Amino acid sequence: MGVSSDLKGWARQHLRGVENLTLPSFTNDMSALDEAGIRWDVRQAKAHGFASTLCAAEQHLSMAEAKRFVEIAVDEAGDDLLVSTTLFRDSLAENYELLTHAAKAGAHTALLGYPTGFMPRSEEEVYDVTRDMCGLADIGIVLYATSNLAFQRFHPSGFPPLLMERIAKIPNVVGVKIGSGDPVFIAECFARCAEHALVNVTMSDWAPITVLRMDQQWIGASCYEMLQSPERPYVVDMFNLLLAGDYQAAVDIYWRIQPLYGLFGQHIMGIMQGFYPWAMFKYYQWCVGGNGGLPRSAGRLFMHQMMGAKMAYRMVGIEPREPDPEFFVGRVNFEAGPPAAGETGFPQAPEGDKGGNAE
């Protein structure tokens, strides 16, 4: 595929189904990527029946680590899973660098965002920057249409609808991911962009409306493991039934898993404000078979959160994984056994200073 090829046509044929989120795993001392753990999670994405996975490459990774993360995911995915990556780096230059690398590594799409320090002077500047970035690589671009940007001074929605429509017409913009729960903004996205790119509401409880009435064919990326397990792939089954036009069977699944939507509900306000509960996402994934392991700079997990998640899973027939200590280091690391003396990653006290007062 190239920028001049029919990437929009490719997307309409192949970008279909549920896209989950792959978070990086780390070694016990947090100093490096845990390749085995990442590969485990990519295999888990296949086991869940996801059609695609998005590498969260902004998760406190150096540029070298972000590039390697994408490479590992693409290699493990093979021909069975589409791979995307986030472009949420700290500068436009870093976004350019990761985008071109992801295309060379074999990623299928990239989710385009803007650095938090990007303060454009006009809508035209936003368009020019976006157009130039899209032209850098032979890869499908998904626009992240969110209100968590510095664009509110151009339009109350946080992302001007006419600007979004112009961007959707760029030849290799294949999708628009809606990062807002405002129903009018969602309606604007479909009305203005659906003719030019695949529009995606990530909230699966919208799917009975957006699939059957708005022709949505792809959903994500999100941590859908909070709603299913490989043995009980509720969201995947519900979405596929909707694509097949079987409304009743799909909503029967929705009502079965409705208690799990409380897990998502407790996070939704923070997510809409740009605060993602990465540690909890990792915990949900571990509960249903993922590698787990804390992300870097993760917030603290509390016992009531973990117990509440497991109780909700059991309410819908999913038996969550045990024991919790495995989660904190990651399944692969835990199964390998405790590290050898001196290899824990913790600083070693100088000789003669073992915690007491040296004389």
- Tens place of pLDDT per residue across the chain (359 aa): 444 469 999 999 999 999 999 999 999 899 999 999 999 999 999 999 999 999 999 878 999 999 999 999 999 999 999 999 999 999 999 999 999 999 999 999 999 999 988 999 999 999 999 999 999 998 999 999 987 778 888 999 889 999 999 999 999 999 999 988 889 999 999 999 999 999 999 999 999 999 999 999 999 999 999 999 999 999 999 999 999 999 999 999 999 999 888 776 665 555 555 567 889 999 999 999 999 999 988 778 889 889 999 999 999 999 999 999 999 999 998 987 765 554 444 334 344 433 333 33
Give residue 116's pLDDT: 85
Residues 6 or more apart whose CB falls under 8 angstroms from that of 228 comprise 48, 234, 235, 236, 257, 288, 318
Please say whether the beta carbons of 82 and 174 come within 8 A: no
Residue 183 vs residues 18, 157, 162, 305: alpha-carbon distances, Å? 21, 11, 17, 30
Structural element, H or E, at residue 110: strand 109-112
Give residue 58's pLDDT: 86
Give residue 264's pLDDT: 64
Residue 138 vs residues 63, 141, 308, 341: alpha-carbon distances, Å? 20, 9, 44, 48
Q: Which of helix, strand or coil describes residue 21?
A: strand
Give residue 152's pLDDT: 85
Give residue 274's pLDDT: 56
Q: H-type helices in 169-233, by residue range?
A: 183-193, 207-214
**Domains and their CATH numbers in the chain:** 7-250 (3.20.20.70)
Q: Taking each helix axis as running N to C, give the angle between helix 207-214 and helix 234-243, from 0 to 180 degrees, rounded to the nearest 10.
A: 20
Angle at 112 between CA 111 and CA 117, to 5 degrees: 135
Return the number of other C-beta atoms located less than 10 Å from residue 129's C-beta: 15
Quote the CA–CA distance of 108 and 84 in Å, as a whole number. 6
Structural element, H or E, at residue 131: helix 123-134
Quote the CA–CA distance of 297 and 279 in Å, as a whole number. 9
Give residue 146's pLDDT: 87
